[in-house]
Structure 1
Amino acid sequence: MKLILAGIDAVNLLLKYVLALLLVMMTVGALGQVIVRFVVPLFGFNASAAWTEEVARFSMIWTVFLGAAWALRHGELIALDLVTHAVPRMLGIAIKALAYLSCAAFCLLLIVVGLEFAEIGEIERSPVLGLSKWYVFMALPVGAGLMVMNIAGFLLACIIEGRDPRGSLDAVAD
């Protein structure tokens, strides 16, 4: 089981670097758009960099889905933990585990739906970059697949390490 967890953590290490690259791309795209739209005209030039908007948008889409997957591995997505901490410990853990398993089932559905969207996107192209929308739409099934993997990793780590999947209310108070 620890080998499976090590594999999941290796994927997440790569995912962390991909997320950093996507954030840089998104920032460069948005900053480029601001410079071209507001700074360059101050010097008497009218320029257009339509590609910056698509780069920023597509990077943001991938960042959202991959970032949510990465956050699931660490149990860092927003959650309402008040109820799971108000009930007896074992009941709270069962509720939290059921919530994670329900989330995994929903993510499996997202994979199926996302693949259908990506298939439709194969024939569509982005207006400026001419990029197949398949690359953009694949963010949904890839992200959902990584979410399922990280939900399994989070629950597996809780079992192996004897951690409480509900987390600590002390972290919320800080």
Structure 2
Amino acid sequence: MNTFLTSLIDRLNFIVRILIGLGLLSMVALISLQVTVRFILPKLGMPAGLPWTEEAARYLMVWVIFLGGAIAARHGLLIAVTALIEALPAAPSRLLRRAALYLLAGIFLAMAWYGWQWTLFGADEVSPALMLSKFWLYLAMPVGCALAAANTLVLALQNGEAREATAA
């Protein structure tokens, strides 16, 4: 079961990494377009404006941050204070690390639930430039946090398997 779950999450993370890359590439293209339109075209005597590019880049950045955080959770790369874990002997250290990962997964699940509530609450709002429902912006939090919870659980399960393998 653990290997199936790990494989499933890793495949999902591969797709998410591609989406993150496309999001970053799109942000660069949008901001480059905005700089060109705002600063270069007026110098050529062609004043113009594209306010939607800033908003689109900002919304993409929110999605990239939440999805990137979820990927970081899979590899244990989120910021952490590990002084106590490192100071303990091996067995209690592994136990405390695993407990911390399960607690973190629970926090991510709570954030996903509250994020979903916020998404539903703000679904009637419309973005000023894109005229897009804010549902799509707010959806980044529950999706990113749910994926972070799944990645953290897989990391905790892998830590448990590593402990069992060294004990045998």
TM-score by length of 1: 0.87
Mapping for residues 143-158 of structure 1, pairs under 5 Å: 143-158=144-159
1:94, distance to aligned residue in structure 2 (A): 2.3
Question: Aligned residue for 1:137?
Answer: 138
Question: Aligned residue for 1:111?
Answer: 112
SS in 2 for 1:130: coil
Mind listing any 5+ residue stretches in structure 2 that lack a counterpart? none
1:82, distance to aligned residue in structure 2 (A): 2.8
Separation in 1, partners of 2:40, 2:70? 37
| Kept in 2: contact 1:25–1:55 (CA 8 A) | no
Read off the aligned partner of 1:156 and give its amino acid letter.
L
Identity %: 33
1:160, distance to aligned residue in structure 2 (A): 3.0
Separation in 2, partners of 1:40, 1:94? 61
Cα deviation, 1:13-65, whole Å, max 9, x if unaligned, reads 11110111111112122222222222222212211011111111000000111
Identify the range of structure 1 (78-87 vs 142-151) with the bigger mean alpha-carbon deviation. 78-87
Mapping for residues 38-57 of structure 1, pairs under 5 Å: 38-57=39-58
Separation in 2, partners of 1:94, 1:161? 12
Separation in 2, partners of 1:91, 1:103? 18
Question: Aligned residue for 1:64?
Answer: 65
Separation in 2, partners of 1:16, 1:162? 29
| Kept in 1: contact 2:111–2:142 (CA 8 A) | yes
Note the aligned Cα RMSD (angstroms).
1.5
Question: Aligned residue for 1:80?
Answer: 81
Separation in 2, partners of 1:91, 1:159? 13
1:74, distance to aligned residue in structure 2 (A): 1.1
1:79, distance to aligned residue in structure 2 (A): 2.0
Separation in 1, partners of 2:158, 2:89? 22
Q: How many residues align?
A: 163
